[in-house]
Each structure stands twice: as C-alpha cells, then as structure tokens.
Structure 1
C-alpha cells in the first residue's frame, strides 16, 4: 500500500510539472505576438506585421479582392496605411488614405532631398526590405521621414510605414534657394495628392492661400497641364489659359525652355530661363523646379540677377 501511494504521488508530481511546463510554453506562445499584432510602440515590428496581413490576404484572396479591400479605410490604422504598386506599369494600384494616388506613376519618384525612393520600392524582394524617404503624412498634413517596409509578390509591391514625429530637420531655408524651392513645390504636390487637381488650381490661383502658401516672397506656385497650358498662377493671373510656348517663346532659348518644362516627369526637373521677377520688376534668370503628377505639372522657382 505504501509503495502504491508512493508511486501515485510521484505520478501526480510528474504530471503537475508537465502541466506547468506546457502551460508556461503555451503562455510564451501567446505573448510572442504570433496570435496578434505587436504593440504600436514597437513601430518596426508593427509595420512588418501590418504588411504581412496584406500579403496574407493577397495570397488567400487574389489581386482584385486585395485591391478592393485596401482601396478604402480598411487599409489604414492610425499613421499606418497599406499602399500597393504594380511593378509592370510602375503605378500605384491601391492607397488606403490618398485615393488620388491610385493610377499615378511612382517608379521614378524622388523625395525633397533628391533621394530616388520610387525605384527602391519597386525593387522590393519577396523577403521584404526597408526604404526610407521624405513623404506626406496624411495625419499631420505635412512632410516627415517615412520608414516603409515593402514586400514583393508576383508583380505587386505591398507596403506600409511609419513617420518620424516631425519634418526632417533642418527644413530648407531661403538662404538655400534651390532646396527651398524644392520644398515649396513638394508642399504643393502634397496638397494636390490630398485634395485633387481642382482644389490645387483654386489654391494656387489665390495669392492669399496659406497652408501651404501660394506666394512667399519671390516664390510662388504655378501649374500647367500636359500640353503646357497654364492652369494656375497667383502673381500673373493673365498667364492662366496661355501656353508656356506663348509666354516664353519670344526667343529660341525661351521656346526651348518651354519644351523642357513640358517634358518634366514625376522625378522632377530644373529648367532655367529669363523671366520678369514680380518683386524686383527686373528680367532675371529664373531657376524653376517642376514635378509632374498625373495630368498636371506643379512648379515654382527662384530668381538670380545678372
């Protein structure tokens, strides 16, 4: 009897230890994030998890169902949102927070610092990689350094990212006119991507517009269509409806500059020409930065005397 009891107690003890061990293992599995998202305070880990949900959905439901799902608010969670690009066409095919970006060519995108991030995103491997660049934050309405995790699947790139808390420091100042011009145009581009072409035209056609400003000293934003017809100009309203060839074509150099401006792409382009500085009243060399988005070119420039 004593031996039996002694054996029973040993069995109970072993069973209890086993339960505790398996229990601890089970609890460990619950806590490692496999069954749920990492906390958003772990921004890299949460971004990877968020993108993986989209990759899993694509593999389970296919292309069209995935695009339909993520082309609306379902694809966004606080500052995180899913974007999907087609590597064969180079265009955005899904964007959860900025619908106007869908259909835009992004393979050649360059950020305000001149970093060609579009090609890096399009080259994302199946294992995924990080791509950092300056981009518009829909939550704050301004730019910030974005850290995007992008994964390639078939002819798609599926990505999301998180933003630094503020605009890259230091933001260009007017003492750096080239960099300041690019920042001025980038602000207008972000306004366009958030609000559309009609709103941008109204915004730029008003000299009093702010957030972003349409006019800031010698800097002013203007826009023209793919044929070079000016559709917005805050300081010379009579230019609206005229083509760049009419405005600049008095000389062969001006005509060539108009051709170069119309040829600007999503990557952006500098074009120099002689133009009237509305602040000084003098004809000066104007250095203009132009960025194409969809059916519109968005531009601004700075003047150099002499």
Structure 2
C-alpha cells in the first residue's frame, strides 16, 4: 500500500478523538480561575475583551467551553459566544424548562461566592438546547463562569 493511502486511512483515527473532546468540570473551573487571574493582572476591561474575542484564549473545544461574565444585576459584561451578548441584561432569561438560570446564578454568587448550577442552554457546536452545568466565581463584583454540556 502506498504511503499516501496509508496516511489517508489513518486520518480518521487522528481526527475523531479531537472532535469527540468535551470539557470537564475541572477544566471549566480552571478556565474561570485563569480568567480571573488574567483580569487581576491586566484589568477587567482587557479581560472582558479577551473573553469575548472570537477564538480567544478563554474558548476551548471549538467554542463549546468558554468563559462568560455577568454583573450582579444580570447584565452580560463579557461572553465567549460573542459581542452580541455583551451589554444585554439577562436577569429574566429562562431556559427551556422555564428556569431563570441567570437569576439563580446571581443568587448562588451572592450566597456562596462560587459554586455549580444546572440549566439548559444552546450548545454552540450542535445548535441544540442541552443540559449544562456551570461553575461560577465572584471577583471584584463580577460573576465569572464557564460551563460544560452534560453528555
């Protein structure tokens, strides 16, 4: 068998594991902590810009794992899914089950300062509303978070 054909046959074995990768809870938590460290070192505005930047350092797995930042009133300050979400107040946003997930996120932030919460959200890779869990942590009056889709 010639080497080009062998290389072609091996391609799926190399690509499929990369496509199948999903974020883990540990990665989501680490990404939040990394974003907060970046904000501490470079300032909030620089961090918000980097978090919102398409294909920025705070987006993983083709955009499936990303950082978001809200203020304590539900306004989006930065979002890994793009600038169109920034500036929008999401306090009354509901998931497909009717849960006011942003309101729940703020309540958790105020009560504990950090933690995990569950809701449903559109997966940017599949375009489907899927169960998701997000880790959030408060720093300097802002809620930094990142979530993973439950498979």
Give the shorter-chain TM-score range. Answer: 0.7 to 0.9
For residues 235 and 304 of structure 1, what CA distance do their matches in structure 2 show?
18
Which residue in 2 is equivalent to 1:273? 119
Q: Aligned pair in 2 of structure 1 residues 277, 250: CA closer, same or farther (>3 Å)?
A: closer
Gaps of 5+ in 1: 1-173
| SS of corresponding position for 1:221 | strand
Q: CA deviation at 1:224?
A: 0.9
User: What are the superposed Cα offsets for residues 238-270 of structure 1, whole Å, 9 maximum, x if unpaired?
Assistant: 2212223343367532x1x22221121574111
| SS of corresponding position for 2:91 | helix
Verify: 1:259 aligned to 2:103, yes or no. Answer: yes
Alignment coverage as a number of residue pairs: 127
Matches within 5 A, 1:188-267: 188-209=35-56, 213-217=57-61, 218-248=64-94, 251-253=97-99, 255=100, 257-263=101-107, 264-265=109-110, 267=113
Matches within 5 A, 1:1-306: 177-209=24-56, 213-217=57-61, 218-248=64-94, 251-253=97-99, 255=100, 257-263=101-107, 264-265=109-110, 267-305=113-151
TM-score calculated relative to the size of structure 1: 0.38
Gaps of 5+ in 2: 1-20
In the TM superposition, structure 1's runs of 4+ consecutive aligned residues that sit over 3 Å from their partners are 249-252
Contact 2:24/2:148 (CA < 8 Å) preserved in 1?
A: yes
Whose radius of gyration is greater, 1 or 2?
1
User: What are the superposed Cα offsets for residues 108-165 of structure 1, whole Å, 9 maximum, x if unpaired?
Assistant: xxxxxxxxxxxxxxxxxxxxxxxxxxxxxxxxxxxxxxxxxxxxxxxxxxxxxxxxxx
TM-score calculated relative to the size of structure 2: 0.74
Contact 2:123/2:130 (CA < 8 Å) preserved in 1?
A: yes
For residues 250 and 233 of structure 1, what CA distance do their matches in structure 2 show?
20
CA RMSD, Structure 1 to Structure 2 (Å): 2.1
Q: Aligned pair in 2 of structure 1 residues 292, 191: CA closer, same or farther (>3 Å)?
A: same
